[in-house]
Structure 1
Amino acid sequence: MEALAEQGPLTGEQEVELAELRPKAQQKQKKKEANAKRHQARKAAAARVAELEVLKEQGLLTVEQEAELAELQPKAEQKQKKRERDAGRYRAGKVAADRVAVLEALKEREQLTVEQEAELAELRPKAHQWQKRKERDAARFRAGKAAVARVSVLEELAGRGRLMVEQEAELAELQPKAEQWQKKKEGTLRGPGRKGCCRSGFGVGGVGGAGAADGGAGGGVGGASTEGGAAEAETEGRQREVSQGKNGCCRSCCGVGGVGGAGPLAVEQEVELAELRPKAHQWQKRKERDAARFRAGKAAAVRVAELEGLEGLTEEQVAELAELRPKAQQWQKQKERDVEWHRVRKAAAVRVAELEGLEGLTEEQVAELAELRPKAQQWQKRRKETWNGTG
């Protein structure tokens, strides 16, 4: 409403509505700022306590720092207890949901005992509560992600002086949501104390570096995985980010309970890690199966080429050729799909470069640029991994 007021005079009804809504909005904003300050204070206290305790272990603590540590420790402990309570509630809810799924499957088969029926009745509310929380978190995440994407398009238009009044109001409304989502995402990825840790592997589910062992198969399977399972690739990327952070910290050396000895994970990180682990394990198994199939298909194609080049095949060779041909054909089709995947994304990268070099883009071109950028980034990432020998 205030964004509209800046654009020009409001109608009588809008002024009345604005006067009515302003106090509530200000009160909500003040409460939000107060909560944010308390959160930042507790976060800073926890970080400072970690620094001071390191100095204390080394015997380098001054008298002033000892007093500071004694003052800050209760705040840090309070934050830690809240984090542990939240994490405990989440884990209990997840356990309840898993158990309810098992009991309901038994109930459908009419194999539930009296004790299990009582257990099911007791656990259902906890499972429902956990599920609702999970859905709320997912909805907030999707809304924030959508806001970020829309803000990107609108800011592109604003930078070219092509923003309409309605779009300016929309941009003003969406920017806080997008910034909040981005900050939360960056905070989750970074986590506390992640600098300078080793890059030996992922530690969580052993997702790291599996592609290197695949040798030549890695490139082919990687393209196929992106074509047929973008969700798995995205899961791998998030697992990599959560496990390692932006500065390459690995979970294998730090342990799940704490990152490099700097303290435990945030509640959001524990929740995300618990949610991503099964997907990462599933993705890793699929990657290994795909790599094995790729190698077998390639070997079949080589052998088929050898047999087809021979004259006067024996009965055994004819039978072998008939058995290997389908595998070789399947491998060839997969290879062609990989080539097409790269071709589409390379074309997207070229088009993105063209559009970014233009001035005064139309709204259609801005939308096209927003649509093509992810594909171009995928292609650039694949090229970089290939050059580094990790793709």
Structure 2
Amino acid sequence: MLTQTEQAAQQDPSAERKRKQKEGDAERYRARKAAAARVVELEALKEQGPLTEQQAAELAELEPKAQQKQKKKESTAKYRQVKKAEAARVVELEALEGRGRLTEAQVVELAELRPKVAQQKQKQNENVAKYRRVRKAEAARVVELEALEGRGRLTEEQVVELAELRPKVAQQKQKQNENVAKYRRVRKAEAARVAELEALEERGRLTEEQVVEFAELQPKVAQQKQKRKKWDAKYHRARKTEADRVVELEALEGLTVEQEVELAGLRPKAEQWQKRKEGFAERYRARKVAAARVVELEALKEQGRLTVEQEAELSELRPKAQQWQKQKERFADWYQARKAAARVAELEGLEGLTAEQGWSWRSFGRRWRRGGGRRTGT
């Protein structure tokens, strides 16, 4: 039985050439890496005493390969530094442009750098998208092969394929989790810095450097917040759909091969969704308790009866109570929006409205939709 890679090669000869080239590149990379590691090992032995004749010959042979790897590494690092510096310079110049403070030389510099950086960003996005497609296909293939393995239906070729892909996919998942955690730390730090700069701006105490920094970070953080909001909504819908599908598949008897593969792929996601829901419920309860305790402690404070321990407890709980209040307000806004939108739809569908009532409600509905679900006028 042919693997997916072999089937693709039969259908598209160019795919086979690309695959062989990729394998050759990977093999050369591994060889250079191994050579560099061996050189380090042999040089450590050399420091401890004379090398054997065989080791000395091996070191002489491997050193050029290790030097080649080091040069390539330095060249790549230098290229990335240049690209990063150009992107940072564009941000800096655009901040000056926004305040109308560009010199003629800077206008020329920005006109030269902006398309260059945009092109680099586009190329980077394409490379990332390609990388993600490959990783996603590998993860899906592992799920498929593990489903066959569970039924004892793997061929010898598929056993080899699974043994090769499984650690690779696990490593990629671990790396992805680390990258996500790092990304979130950076975003959190940027949001905290924007809040700090906003406080300084309100007091009129921003330096010129901080003005530039603020102009760079503020739209970035606002965009990330909006992006995160959309992603959360999309994630919520996708996980809910997947959880519903798992329930549907588990209720079926005599699943087909495709359905077993689908269930094997969806089950971990449904479990993750359930954990997320439980975590949300737990945080909700904790914030509610914190808010109630803050009310109690503030009442004691007004009476002048707070102990030192209670003062510390109040300071610790206030942020949680504020989160609870914000959550309540968001929920109230959402509830009112849904309720009013439903009422508009109901009234627009009624028969027997007077011409004036019909016009009034249609007008309100248009204003409602333009306002994104908020009442924009009377």
* TMscore range, shorter length: 0.3 to 0.5
* Greater relative CO (CA pairs within 8 A, separation 6+): 1
Structure with greater helix percent: 2
Normalising by structure 2, we get a TM-score of 0.44
Question: Which of structures 1 and 2 has the bigger CA Rg?
Answer: 2
